[in-house]
């Protein structure tokens, strides 16, 4: 006796798969433009992977108003965009990882150990200031083998570590600027930054490397600025507003 399948009677008939629907649809009439675009989108979506993709470096596009830090041989300055992003932070601590070449700027309370005032407060406004730190800056220049004639700018990345908001700066991702020069009329000559040579041949990090670059473990090699400069015998100059 032949067994009659339930769907053969017209009840509980299984729905055709999308591919079957496409075949049936194409056999009856051509796909519309919208249907073709949707089919392409679904195909790209089903086959997508981050493998082979690079995250384009922010330094390759206009970033004039993005949070940034500038290091000179005797001072460090954070722009107003950087200061405004960390609301209510007047004092910070510098933490540096000499192995990974990363610097963390972490907000702290006034009077905390190794607290550094990083901005000028005028009423409700907080503005950028130059932080004189020759012993610390000289150690950075020595560690990174920088040219003392240049100034170095770094793009800040705001991250969260548990409940703390802070900035992460990759010291190997620098933009180097030549000393300022003026033309015969006394106007400043604007020069393009010199980017690291190891960036040649790529657009940026792979997606996996990019994700890993934002991870911070304070138990793994980070030191405060005072620990970096505690052996420095020269007196620290007064800070300049």
Q: What is the pLDDT of residues 226-236, one digit of tens each?
A: 544 433 333 33
In a domain, 88, yes or no: yes
In a domain, 17, yes or no: no
Report how many domains make up the chain: 1
In a domain, 27, yes or no: no
Outline where DSSP puts E strands in the chain: 54-56, 68-71, 75-78, 91-97, 102-108, 116-117, 119-122, 125-128, 130-132, 151-155, 157-161, 164-170, 175-177, 181-182, 188-189, 204-206, 223-224
In a domain, 239, yes or no: no
Structural domain harbouring 84: 63-229
CA pair distance 80, 204, nearest whole angstrom: 26
In a domain, 67, yes or no: yes
pLDDT at residue 45 tops 80: yes
What pLDDT does 200 receive?
82
Tens-place pLDDT, residues 95-151? 999 999 999 999 999 999 999 999 998 888 888 999 999 999 999 999 999 999 999
pLDDT at residue 171 tops 90: yes
In a domain, 192, yes or no: yes
Residue with tokens 């620990």: 227
In a domain, 116, yes or no: yes
What pLDDT does 240 receive?
34
In a domain, 211, yes or no: yes
């Amino acid at each position: 006796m032949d067994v009659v399948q339930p769907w053969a009677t017209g009840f509980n008939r299984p729905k055709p798969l999308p591919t079957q629907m496409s075949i049936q649809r194409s056999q009856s009439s051509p796909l519309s433009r919208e249907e073709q675009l949707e089919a392409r989108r679904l195909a790209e979506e089903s086959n997508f992977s981050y493998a082979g993709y690079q995250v384009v470096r922010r330094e390759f596009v206009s970033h004039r108003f993005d949070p940034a830090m500038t290091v000179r041989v005797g001072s460090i300055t954070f722009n107003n965009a950087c200061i405004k992003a960390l609301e209510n932070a007047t004092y910070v601590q510098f933490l540096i990882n000499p192995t990974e070449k990363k610097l963390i700027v972490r907000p702290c309370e006034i009077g905390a150990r190794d607290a550094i005032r990083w901005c000028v407060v005028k009423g409700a406004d907080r503005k950028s200031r130059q932080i004189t730190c020759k012993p610390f800056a000289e150690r950075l220049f020595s560690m990174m083998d920088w040219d003392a004639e240049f100034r170095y700018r770094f793009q800040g990345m705001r991250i969260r570590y548990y409940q703390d908001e802070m900035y992460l700066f990759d010291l190997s991702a620098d933009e180097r600027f030549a000393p300022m020069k003026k033309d015969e009329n006394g106007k400043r000559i604007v020069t393009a930054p010199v980017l690291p040579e190891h960036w040649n041949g790529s657009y940026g990090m792979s997606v996996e490397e990019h994700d890993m670059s934002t991870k911070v473990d304070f138990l793994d090699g980070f030191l405060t600025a005072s620990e970096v400069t505690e052996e420095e015998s020269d007196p620290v100059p007064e800070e300049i507003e």
